[in-house]
Amino acid sequence: MWFYEPTEEEAVQLTEPEPQDEHFMREALKQAKRATRYGEVPIGCVIVCDGQIVGRGYNRRNTNHTTLAHAELTAIDRASRKLGDWRLEGCTLYVTLEPCQMCSGAIVQSRIDRVVVGTMNPKAGCAGSILNILQMPAFNHQTALTIGVLRKECTDILQDFFRDLRIRNKEEKKMRAAEEEKRIHVGE
Protein backbone atom coordinates (compact mmCIF):
# COMPACT_ATOMS: atom_id res chain seq x y z
CA MET A 1 0.00 0.00 0.00
CA TRP A 2 1.24 3.47 -0.85
CA PHE A 3 1.53 5.98 1.98
CA TYR A 4 2.33 9.65 1.81
CA GLU A 5 5.83 10.04 3.19
CA PRO A 6 6.31 13.57 4.54
CA THR A 7 9.65 15.24 4.13
CA GLU A 8 11.51 16.24 7.28
CA GLU A 9 10.27 19.78 6.67
CA GLU A 10 6.66 18.52 6.46
CA ALA A 11 6.73 16.40 9.62
CA VAL A 12 4.01 17.14 12.16
CA GLN A 13 4.96 20.01 14.44
CA LEU A 14 3.00 19.75 17.69
CA THR A 15 2.34 22.42 20.27
CA GLU A 16 1.76 21.78 23.95
CA PRO A 17 -1.79 21.86 25.33
CA GLU A 18 -2.88 25.16 26.82
CA PRO A 19 -4.81 25.59 30.11
CA GLN A 20 -8.17 26.28 28.39
CA ASP A 21 -7.96 23.31 26.00
CA GLU A 22 -9.80 20.78 28.16
CA HIS A 23 -12.66 23.21 28.77
CA PHE A 24 -13.21 23.87 25.07
CA MET A 25 -12.72 20.21 24.10
CA ARG A 26 -15.54 19.41 26.55
CA GLU A 27 -17.66 21.88 24.60
CA ALA A 28 -16.76 20.02 21.40
CA LEU A 29 -17.74 16.76 23.11
CA LYS A 30 -21.16 18.28 23.90
CA GLN A 31 -21.56 18.86 20.17
CA ALA A 32 -20.53 15.25 19.47
CA LYS A 33 -23.22 14.06 21.88
CA ARG A 34 -25.79 16.09 19.93
CA ALA A 35 -24.77 14.18 16.80
CA THR A 36 -25.37 10.89 18.62
CA ARG A 37 -28.94 11.94 19.45
CA TYR A 38 -29.58 12.18 15.70
CA GLY A 39 -27.95 8.82 15.00
CA GLU A 40 -24.91 10.53 13.49
CA VAL A 41 -21.28 9.60 14.04
CA PRO A 42 -20.39 11.62 17.17
CA ILE A 43 -17.95 14.26 15.99
CA GLY A 44 -18.13 17.72 17.49
CA CYS A 45 -16.32 21.00 16.97
CA VAL A 46 -16.13 24.48 18.44
CA ILE A 47 -14.17 27.52 17.27
CA VAL A 48 -12.88 29.96 19.87
CA CYS A 49 -11.80 33.56 19.40
CA ASP A 50 -10.64 35.76 22.28
CA GLY A 51 -11.79 33.15 24.80
CA GLN A 52 -15.35 32.97 23.42
CA ILE A 53 -17.00 30.27 21.32
CA VAL A 54 -17.88 31.84 17.97
CA GLY A 55 -18.87 28.69 16.07
CA ARG A 56 -20.22 25.25 16.91
CA GLY A 57 -20.89 22.21 14.79
CA TYR A 58 -21.57 18.52 14.89
CA ASN A 59 -21.67 15.83 12.26
CA ARG A 60 -24.97 15.92 10.28
CA ARG A 61 -24.10 14.06 7.07
CA ASN A 62 -26.98 11.60 7.23
CA THR A 63 -29.48 14.13 8.58
CA ASN A 64 -28.70 16.69 5.87
CA HIS A 65 -28.04 14.08 3.16
CA THR A 66 -24.74 15.68 2.18
CA THR A 67 -21.09 14.85 2.65
CA LEU A 68 -20.47 18.54 3.36
CA ALA A 69 -22.21 18.48 6.77
CA HIS A 70 -19.06 17.78 8.78
CA ALA A 71 -18.72 19.31 12.26
CA GLU A 72 -15.74 21.45 11.25
CA LEU A 73 -17.41 22.93 8.17
CA THR A 74 -20.53 23.85 10.12
CA ALA A 75 -18.45 25.48 12.87
CA ILE A 76 -16.33 27.38 10.30
CA ASP A 77 -19.47 28.64 8.55
CA ARG A 78 -21.04 29.79 11.82
CA ALA A 79 -17.83 31.43 13.06
CA SER A 80 -17.38 33.26 9.75
CA ARG A 81 -20.95 34.56 9.89
CA LYS A 82 -20.60 35.65 13.53
CA LEU A 83 -17.27 37.39 12.97
CA GLY A 84 -18.28 38.78 9.58
CA ASP A 85 -15.17 37.50 7.83
CA TRP A 86 -14.08 34.31 6.07
CA ARG A 87 -10.63 34.77 7.60
CA LEU A 88 -10.64 33.24 11.05
CA GLU A 89 -7.20 34.48 12.06
CA GLY A 90 -6.76 34.48 15.80
CA CYS A 91 -9.15 31.54 16.21
CA THR A 92 -8.59 28.06 17.60
CA LEU A 93 -10.61 25.09 16.35
CA TYR A 94 -11.32 22.23 18.79
CA VAL A 95 -12.49 18.96 17.23
CA THR A 96 -13.08 15.57 18.81
CA LEU A 97 -11.74 13.58 15.81
CA GLU A 98 -8.83 14.43 13.54
CA PRO A 99 -10.09 16.34 10.49
CA CYS A 100 -10.42 14.68 7.08
CA GLN A 101 -8.87 16.11 3.92
CA MET A 102 -11.93 18.26 3.13
CA CYS A 103 -12.08 19.80 6.60
CA SER A 104 -8.31 20.22 6.82
CA GLY A 105 -8.42 22.11 3.53
CA ALA A 106 -11.21 24.35 4.82
CA ILE A 107 -9.24 24.99 8.02
CA VAL A 108 -6.21 26.10 5.99
CA GLN A 109 -8.38 28.20 3.68
CA SER A 110 -10.07 29.94 6.62
CA ARG A 111 -6.67 30.83 8.14
CA ILE A 112 -7.43 29.32 11.55
CA ASP A 113 -4.32 29.75 13.73
CA ARG A 114 -4.50 26.60 15.84
CA VAL A 115 -6.23 23.22 15.79
CA VAL A 116 -6.72 21.06 18.88
CA VAL A 117 -7.62 17.42 18.17
CA GLY A 118 -9.09 14.99 20.69
CA THR A 119 -8.31 11.68 19.01
CA MET A 120 -6.58 10.74 15.79
CA ASN A 121 -8.19 9.08 12.77
CA PRO A 122 -5.78 6.55 11.24
CA LYS A 123 -8.18 5.77 8.35
CA ALA A 124 -8.93 9.28 7.12
CA GLY A 125 -7.09 11.86 9.23
CA CYS A 126 -5.25 14.70 7.56
CA ALA A 127 -3.65 16.36 10.57
CA GLY A 128 -0.84 13.85 10.67
CA SER A 129 -2.31 10.32 10.41
CA ILE A 130 -2.41 9.94 6.61
CA LEU A 131 -1.43 13.44 5.51
CA ASN A 132 -0.72 16.63 7.37
CA ILE A 133 -2.55 19.17 5.25
CA LEU A 134 -2.68 21.60 8.18
CA GLN A 135 1.07 22.16 8.15
CA MET A 136 2.14 21.63 4.54
CA PRO A 137 4.74 24.28 3.73
CA ALA A 138 3.57 24.44 0.11
CA PHE A 139 0.33 26.12 1.23
CA ASN A 140 0.11 29.81 2.06
CA HIS A 141 -1.06 29.08 5.63
CA GLN A 142 -0.17 26.51 8.27
CA THR A 143 -1.80 25.93 11.65
CA ALA A 144 -0.36 25.15 15.03
CA LEU A 145 -1.49 21.68 16.09
CA THR A 146 -2.14 20.08 19.47
CA ILE A 147 -3.35 16.49 19.67
CA GLY A 148 -4.62 14.21 22.39
CA VAL A 149 -6.65 16.63 24.51
CA LEU A 150 -9.28 14.49 26.29
CA ARG A 151 -8.22 11.62 24.03
CA LYS A 152 -9.94 8.94 26.12
CA GLU A 153 -13.31 10.73 26.19
CA CYS A 154 -13.12 11.51 22.47
CA THR A 155 -12.19 7.91 21.64
CA ASP A 156 -14.78 6.40 23.98
CA ILE A 157 -17.73 8.29 22.48
CA LEU A 158 -16.79 7.02 19.01
CA GLN A 159 -16.15 3.43 20.13
CA ASP A 160 -19.43 3.34 22.09
CA PHE A 161 -21.35 4.65 19.07
CA PHE A 162 -19.92 2.06 16.68
CA ARG A 163 -20.33 -0.78 19.21
CA ASP A 164 -24.01 0.15 19.67
CA LEU A 165 -24.44 0.48 15.90
CA ARG A 166 -23.04 -3.01 15.31
CA ILE A 167 -25.39 -4.44 17.95
CA ARG A 168 -28.40 -2.62 16.41
CA ASN A 169 -27.48 -3.78 12.92
CA LYS A 170 -27.09 -7.37 14.10
CA GLU A 171 -30.50 -7.27 15.83
CA GLU A 172 -32.15 -5.74 12.75
CA LYS A 173 -30.61 -8.44 10.57
CA LYS A 174 -32.02 -11.14 12.86
CA MET A 175 -35.48 -9.51 12.75
CA ARG A 176 -35.43 -9.33 8.94
CA ALA A 177 -34.38 -12.98 8.74
CA ALA A 178 -37.20 -14.00 11.12
CA GLU A 179 -39.73 -12.00 9.08
CA GLU A 180 -38.49 -13.58 5.87
CA GLU A 181 -38.78 -17.03 7.46
CA LYS A 182 -42.42 -16.24 8.44
CA ARG A 183 -43.24 -15.14 4.89
CA ILE A 184 -41.77 -18.33 3.48
CA HIS A 185 -43.82 -20.52 5.86
CA VAL A 186 -47.03 -18.54 5.35
CA GLY A 187 -46.64 -18.82 1.59
CA GLU A 188 -46.30 -22.63 1.62
φ/ψ of 12, rounded to 5, equals -60, 125
Residue among 16, 72, 98, 188 flagged as catalytic: 72
In whole angstroms, what is the distance from residue 24 CA to residue 101 CA? 23
Query: Is residue 114 within a helix (H) or strand (E), and if so which, with residue range?
Result: strand 114-119
Known active-site residue 22: no
In whole angstroms, what is the distance from residue 100 CA to residue 1 CA? 19
Nearest to 36 by CA among 123, 125, 164: 164
By three-state DSSP, how is residue 115 classified? strand
Give 133: exposed, middle or buried? Use CB within 10 Å, 0-12, 13-18, 19+.
Answer: buried
Query: Is residue 57 within a helix (H) or strand (E), and if so which, with residue range?
Result: strand 52-58
How many CA atoms does the CB half-sphere of 30 hold within 13 Å?
A: 9
Nearest to 11 by CA among 181, 137, 148: 137
Catalytic residues: 72
